[in-house]
Amino acid sequence: MTDKIKVDPSCMDDFDKESILPAEALQRIFNLIKAVSEKVNVPVREALGKVLAENITSSINVPSGRNSAMDGYAIRSKDLPEDGVKTFNMIGTCLAGKPFKQAVDKDQCVRIMTGAVMPEGTDTVIIQEHVEVNGNNIKIDNNTNAGANIREAGEDLSIGDLVLEQGMRLNPADIGLLASLGHAEVPVYKNITVAFFSTGDELRSIGEPLEDGAIYDSNRYTLFGMLANLGVEIIDMGVVKDNKAELESAFHEATNKADVLITSGGVSVGEADYIKETLENNGTIHFWKVAMKPGRPLTLGKMKDCYFFGLPGNPVSVMVTFYQFVQPAIKKLLGEKHVEPIMMKVPCISKLKKRPGRVEYQRGVLEKNTQGETIVRKTGKQGSGILRSMSDANCFIVLPLENAGVTEGDLVDVQPFYGVI
């Protein structure tokens, strides 16, 4: 996250003196979040996407014994021809799962298949392309090095190796590794429940008629998608009107059954007061203006054991603030250790308008140009209500506070969605 202010921000046109930097907001969120400590054992497949609650060390060697990496013939390397071709006597065959039990002697060979355990005495496999077969007489050329085409015991994992670290989110390779160690169950942190609702008298849910001035609620769908990607349990509480009693009761309901509550909209002065009042009477609340665009206002609170994130209403602001703050917070809460998105520097082929004073998260497309180089361009219009700009994007172009615009060819910081979202 861009956090270093190189010049005094107070003289920047777009800087609000009451605002804090995104990195500061994230730090304050992390200071308040206490990670889940309860562990549950789940079957290995169910552990996909969950956060590992203990270090996993290997109790076995994988592979368990020295075996062939290729189909061919197993020999003793000391019998390899020095030059020219030499004939070996084939004394048997070994297949994966069907070892050849006899020891191999001078100038003898055994037909071997990939994954089969190397017969006693052998240490080299000659691939089939380098032999000429005539019954049991196998002519071998001198193009193979001693020790070639075998996999050593423990080459992938050795007994005692730290295989997977507590606090990592398990991906398909990880659950494969766990399976290769024979784990039927895996200790992961207990999942959390996240509730959300939208606020606004103008909002309608799908299926309801859309009268003049009304709009369909899209935030509950983007929030659903972003939360589903994190693997949390989701409670969609619908639309709540800009009304004190309804907001208060929705708050109480959510905090009774969820670990996290996310709301969107209702952060303008009168509306926010209801949330503020409810939280002040029942918990704690922090209102921050964050020096960012889109998504300046952000509310964080805690009521009973439930964390509360009050996001702005504009559809792009919801997604930007979710990815910058709520997602790292939820990951942290779930016990994940590495929660910050990666950043890379890429040349930007679009001209970008920006005034100094806020960190901007413009929506971009990372792609290859005709020379095969990775570049980024902006998606069309960048207004905070233009959800299309997120739908078309595959990354954020993150412009630091002091940046006063980008000209074509400038290097910019890019936060790819892949692996982040």
The stretch near ligand AMP (CB under 6 A) out of 73-81, 211-219, 273-281, 364-372 is 211-219
How far apart CA 296 and CA 321 sit, in angstroms, is 9
Q: Does 167 contact Mg ion by CB under 5 A?
A: no
Residue number, 313 or 416, with CB nearest to ligand AMP: 313
Q: How many CB atoms lie within 10 A of CB 117?
A: 23
Q: What is the spatial distance between Cα 67 and Cα 45, in angstroms, rounded to a whole number?
A: 28
For the chain, what's the residue count?
Answer: 421
Interface residue with Mg ion among 22, 154, 167, 200 (CB under 5 A) is 200
Partner interacting with residue 102 (select from ligand AMP, Mg ion, none; CB below 5-8 Å by kind): none
Site string for ligand AMP, 214-233 (x = CB under 6 A): -x-xxx--------------
To 10 degrees, what angle do helices 244-257 and 269-282 make? Answer: 40
Q: Is 198 in the site for ligand AMP (CB under 6 A)?
A: yes
Strands 72-75 and 162-164: unpaired
Tell me the CA distances in angstroms from 173 to 44, 163, 177, one per residue in order.
12, 12, 6
* Residue closest to 198 by CA, chosen among 324, 313, 326, 319: 313
Amino acid at 348: C
- Does 265 participate in binding Mg ion (rule CB under 5 A)? yes
Q: Pick from 68, 191, 264, 379: which binds ligand AMP (CB under 6 A)?
A: 264
Residues touching ligand AMP: how many (CB under 6 A)?
A: 17
The answer to whether 415 touches 398, Cβ cutoff 8 Å, is yes
Name the β-bridge partners of 40: 188
Rounded Cα distance, 59 and 222, in Å: 43
- C-alpha span between 379 and 87 (Å, rounded): 67
Cα–Cα distance for residue pair 389/297, rounded to 1 Å = 21
Q: Which stretch binds Mg ion (CB under 5 A): 66-74, 262-270, 336-344, 377-385?
A: 262-270
Q: Which is nearer to ligand AMP, 147 or 383 (CB)?
A: 383
Give the interface segment with ligand AMP, choosing from 14-22, 200-208, 287-295, 355-363 (CB under 6 A).
Answer: 200-208
We find the least distance from the C-beta atom of residue 290 to ligand AMP, in angstroms, to be 14
263: contact with ligand AMP by CB under 6 A: no
Residue 297 interacts with which of ligand AMP, Mg ion, none, CB < 5 to 8 Å by class: none
Q: Which CB, 20 or 272, lies closer to ligand AMP?
A: 272
Q: How far is the CB of 382 from ligand AMP (least distance, A)?
A: 16
> Residue 232 or 240: which CB sits closer to ligand AMP?
240
Evaluate whether 96 touches 118 at the Cβ level (below 8 Å): no
Q: Which residues on adjacent β-strands are paired with residue 250?
A: none
Burial class (CB in 10 A: 0-12, 13-18, 19+), 358: buried
Identity of the residue, 124 or 264, whose beta carbon is nearer to ligand AMP in the bound complex: 264
User: Taking CB within 5 to 8 Å according to partner kind, which of ligand AMP, Mg ion, none is near residue 117?
Assistant: none
Phi, psi dihedral angles at 386 (to 5 degrees):
-95, 90
Rounded least distance, CB 317 to ligand AMP, Å: 8
- Which of 313, 328, 356, 416 touches ligand AMP (CB under 6 A)? 313
Residues that bind ligand AMP (CB under 6 A): 198, 200, 202-203, 215, 217-219, 264-268, 312-315
Residues that bind Mg ion (CB under 5 A): 200, 265, 313
